[in-house]
Amino acid sequence: MALILGSSMGYALADQSYMTDNGVAVFYPSGYDAAQHEPSPIFVNELKSVGDVSTEWNLRPEFSTSDGKSIVRIPVGEGVDFYGNGEVAGPLRRNGKEVRFWNTDAPKYEADEGRRLYQSHPWVMGVRPDGTAFGVIADNTWKSSVTMDEDIVFESEGPAFRVVVIEKESPDEVLKALTDLTGHIEMPPLWALGYQQCRWSYFPDTRVKEIADSLRINKIPSDVIWMDIDYMDKFKIFTFDKEKFPDPKGLNDYLHDRNFKAVYMIDPGVKVEEGYRVDDQGTAADYWVKDASGKPYVGEVWPGPCHFPDFTRPEVREWWGTLYKDYMATGIDGVWNDMNEPAIFNVETSTMPEDNRHLGGGGLAPGSHLRYHNVYGYNMVKASRDGILDANPYKRPFVLTRSNFLGGHRYAATWTGDNASDPALMKMSIPMTLNLGLSGQPFNGPDIGGFFDDCTPELLAQWTSMGVYFPFVRNHSAAGTRSQEPWTFGAETLDVCRTAINRRYRLLPYIYTRFREAYEDGMPVMRPLFFADVKDPSLRREQEAFLLGGDLMVVPRWAGNTARPSGNWNKIVLEDTPDDGFQANLYQRPGSIIPVAELSQNTTEYNTDKLTLFVNLDPDGKATGRIYEDAGESFEFRDGEYADYIATASTHGNEVTVKLTQNGGKWKKAPKSLRVGFVTTNGIEYTPWSIGDTVVFKKM
């Protein structure tokens, strides 16, 4: 074994290593104890050797220990731009930054100056000047941290851990390799891509109805209303307050009749109370996390003193899942798992003691909270998803979680926690969402308008105008702040928000297809601008302009002078409304076709019978695009019940032919009504509408 001398400690190369795939190598430290790390929550399948690491392999982790900490250093050389790290506060490019992996309730991202947030993704992606890229996974759930400079350095308070290194030709390929290991998201229900209205909290039920009615009266396209903690009886999970929510089924029916879905919050803390079904069951079966002395740990959260399910145990996850059966039967469509770091009130650390005990099972060894803290939320949402799926086997589950871990995107979408109505935090939501996408979690977004503090008309207009191009689009605000629904700021702000949300709904054919791509190959829905041209160094730090999918560049109106990829990224405009000074500028990639639907007020009404195809030709007079569609909420797409089209444009002389060809799926749809929006540097020329699969037009 080679010994390399660091300044004060010895570093050793891997004791053992192997390839698991083309360009994917795994390195083990000496003394590696699998029982302390495996089965890993990160990987879909346990890592398996397919051969030796070649002597040419460049990135080699070096292992060491110091002061009881396990350390891995990966020398990467100069000129690398770092990304990823999961949910992070701060810039897109991570060079010189430190991230601490210890899931934390972090209001306004202030804990440890933003170094630790609600989730942990021990993952770094590096992009070299020539556009080649690599990624590093620390397969470690224990409390740890990472820094990125000339070296990547992981430091853990747990035992020595293995490291996976991905080496590829491009960031795209690195992300595909990452998500081959960690899995892809499931197809979300289409409604979860619509606009969502939330507040801590809408109550009583008459207030919920009023919000739903106001959305419709004000013609704000929308799909989801959210129920925060106040719907519960004394914050007891899986209960409803008898006075404020006497008839949850009736309320959910009311919402469904108006084409809304209802998402309700479930926290992990179970109120300690004899006679309360959930607490009684968990106590009888001894399902709670234990303190160091072996007694059920009790921590304070909303309901007062609470027990906490030990989600490392398969039988506890199973039981937790069963609790959703009657609950979902009231017509609940989706579940919001909050506070699952887990957050605990009135303690310095804002979480459980590190020496609390988890039992594990199913191959997982018993262990301390120091080991299992970072996967508390992960195991909770895994259990929630399974339970919801059992309750509604024919519907795609929707779970939103605050806490999670690398790999947890398989179970839940996420949002970026408690931000504030602050322009700086609005701007930061772009790199946050981008880095989560670059860590394998494509389905995420911030609280639009900001959670803490009072929003202003201008901020809501700005935030909504850019937020509608994020993967997850939800307006949410804290108790005690001013109302934040678009209509509460006057007619002008309402108009701006409506226009922006209209654009979201018109873009749904394009956005839903991006989610299909994320499901197929793990590519993020929202991408940093440098994905447009990975060899162009001027794009690497751009964090105001961003890409939605590969073909649409979004430049928020408040943005300064943003970087621009070369080529004719021409402007598209989705509606002929007068310029309100807030809408983001949209630019289309040369060589692409972007499908746009007619306006709908919700995803139940949404359809693709009438499509505008925006065509921006490349210098060869060609363009392509894709449109994926299915029933939106069921699993029948798995049996081929969908239609997948490719759109192509080709030029002969000054005649351009645009053709839609079904390329997959058993669905036979009636011919669509089509028109082409021919996108040029001088604006957009529309053809007339025609029915069929081909549109021919003459270039001006």
Q: What's CA 136's distance to the chain center, in Å?
A: 20
Report d(CA 654, CA 345) in Å as an integer: 69
> What tokens appear for 575 in the block?
């509606």
Determine which residue in the list 155, 310, 333, 418 makes contact with ligand MIG, applying CB under 6 A: 418
β-strand partners of 150: none
The residue at minimum Cβ distance from ligand MIG is 200
Give me the least distance between CB of 116 and ligand MIG, in Å please: 15
- Catalytic residue from among 81, 167, 310, 341: 341
HSE-up of 595 (CA within 13 Å, CB side)? 30
Residue ranges in 24-63 that form contacts with ligand MIG under rule CB under 6 A: none
Question: What residues contact 4, with CB distance under 8 A and at least 6 apart?
Answer: 10, 11, 12, 13, 62
Give me the least distance between CB of 157 and ligand MIG, in Å please: 26
Give me the least distance between CB of 451 and ligand MIG, in Å please: 6
The overall longest dimension of the chain from CA atoms, in Å, is 82
Count CB atoms within 10 A of the CB of residue 355. Answer: 11
Residue ranges in 525-554 that form contacts with ligand MIG under rule CB under 6 A: none
β-strand partners of 12: 3, 63
Nearer to ligand MIG, 62 or 418 (CB): 418
Report d(CA 186, CA 636) in Å as an integer: 13
Q: Which of 160, 173, 177 is nearest to 73 (CA)?
A: 160
Phi, psi of 35 (to 5 degrees): -65, -20
Nearer to ligand MIG, 62 or 228 (CB): 228
Run of H or E residues at 432: helix 423-437
- Binding track, positions 471-490, relative to ligand MIG; x by CB under 6 A: -----x--------------
Nearer to ligand MIG, 239 or 648 (CB): 239
Determine which residue in the list 87, 167, 223, 228 makes contact with ligand MIG, applying CB under 6 A: 228
Nearer to ligand MIG, 198 or 547 (CB): 198
DSSP code for 689: P
Number of residues that bind ligand MIG (CB under 6 A): 10
Give me the least distance between CB of 362 and ligand MIG, in Å please: 30
Nearer to ligand MIG, 228 or 633 (CB): 228
Count CB atoms within 10 A of the CB of residue 2. Answer: 9
Residue ranges in 184-213 that form contacts with ligand MIG under rule CB under 6 A: 200
Determine which residue in the list 90, 417, 471, 591 makes contact with ligand MIG, applying CB under 6 A: 417
Question: What residues contact 94, with CB distance under 8 A and at least 6 apart?
Answer: 82, 83, 84, 85, 88, 124, 148, 435
Report d(CA 164, CA 159) in Å as an integer: 16
Residue ranges in 324-353 that form contacts with ligand MIG under rule CB under 6 A: 338-339
Q: Which of 447, 387, 461, 459 is nearest to 423 (CA)?
A: 459
Handedness of CA 489, 193, 404, 524 (dihedral sign): negative
Report d(CA 555, CA 563) in Å as an integer: 10
Report d(CA 401, CA 338) in Å as an integer: 6
Give me the least distance between CB of 402 and ligand MIG, in Å please: 5
- Catalytic residue from among 338, 485, 542, 633: 338
- Catalytic residue from among 418, 544, 629, 633: 418
Residue ranges in 231-270 that form contacts with ligand MIG under rule CB under 6 A: 265
Task: Based on the residue annotation, tell me whether 341 is a catalytic residue of this protein.
Answer: yes
Give me the least distance between CB of 418 and ligand MIG, in Å please: 5
Give me the least distance between CB of 232 and ligand MIG, in Å please: 10
Is 402 a binder of ligand MIG (CB under 6 A)? yes
Nearer to ligand MIG, 419 or 465 (CB): 419
Nearer to ligand MIG, 229 or 251 (CB): 229
The catalytic site residues sit at 338, 341, 418
Binding site for ligand MIG (CB under 6 A): 200, 228-229, 265, 338-339, 402, 417-418, 476
